[in-house]
Amino acid sequence: MNATTATHGPSVRGATETLDSFFSVWRHLIPSEGVSLTAASTLRLLLRSGPLRLTTLGEREAVSQPAMTGLVSRLQAAGLVERRADPTDGRAVLVELTAAGGALVEERRTRRTAAMEELLGVLDPVERARFDAAIPALGLLIDHATSDVGLATGIQESR
């Protein structure tokens, strides 16, 4: 164990455990209404990035191409995305968010924001200020992770 681990280990572990629990709560703030986490993430990615190839969607969402093809087929059947030929390569398909898909993403974000605001209402003003002060630091960590590790253009674009 190095000095950094010895000094910061418990706070890092505590943060990890707290964030794991928070993300579990976060996922349940609003009903899924038949939209899986991967589907919702894919729709958010398309909203941020614009049309993408199926292969790129699969890579960014860390799912196999067959799984992404199936997901896109279900999203298309629901009227949330459209497929069209890639103008730069006629063999490739681009997936594009429809107006209904964009509206779904925005509606879910609005509902989740309202639910989050209600949840934050249990904090006293000092706790709320601490929570608000942590947001920029979390944003910096996301930026760092997405630029250094290359993980995830998807993470960056879902913000």
- pLDDT number for residue 149: 44
**3-state SS, one letter per residue, for 80-148:** CEEEEEECCEEEEEEEEECHHHHHHHHHHHHHHHHHHHHHHCCCCHHHHHHHHHHHHHHHHHHHHHHHH
Structure tokens belonging to residue 18: 């707290």
Render each residue's pLDDT in the chain as its tens digit; 159 residues: 444 445 556 688 888 898 899 888 888 877 777 788 899 999 999 999 999 999 999 999 999 999 999 999 999 999 999 999 999 888 888 999 999 999 999 999 999 899 999 999 999 999 999 999 999 998 998 888 867 544 544 444 444
CATH number at residue 68: 1.10.10.10
Q: Identify the domain containing residue 77 by its residue range.
A: 33-110
- pLDDT number for residue 106: 93
Structure tokens belonging to residue 69: 């093809």
Domain presence at residue 150 = no
Domain presence at residue 70 = yes
Domain presence at residue 146 = no
Task: Tell me the CA distances in angstroms from 80 to 51, 61, 93, 95, 115, one per residue in order.
Answer: 13, 17, 16, 10, 24
Domain presence at residue 133 = no
Tally of structural domains, the chain: 1
Domain presence at residue 27 = no
* Burial track 56-86 (b if 16+ CB lie within 10 A, e otherwise): bbbbbbebeeeebbebbeebeeeebbeeeee
Domain presence at residue 58 = yes
How buried is 45 (Cβ within 10 angstroms: 0-12 exposed, 13-18 middle, 19+ buried)? buried
Domain presence at residue 52 = yes
Domain presence at residue 77 = yes
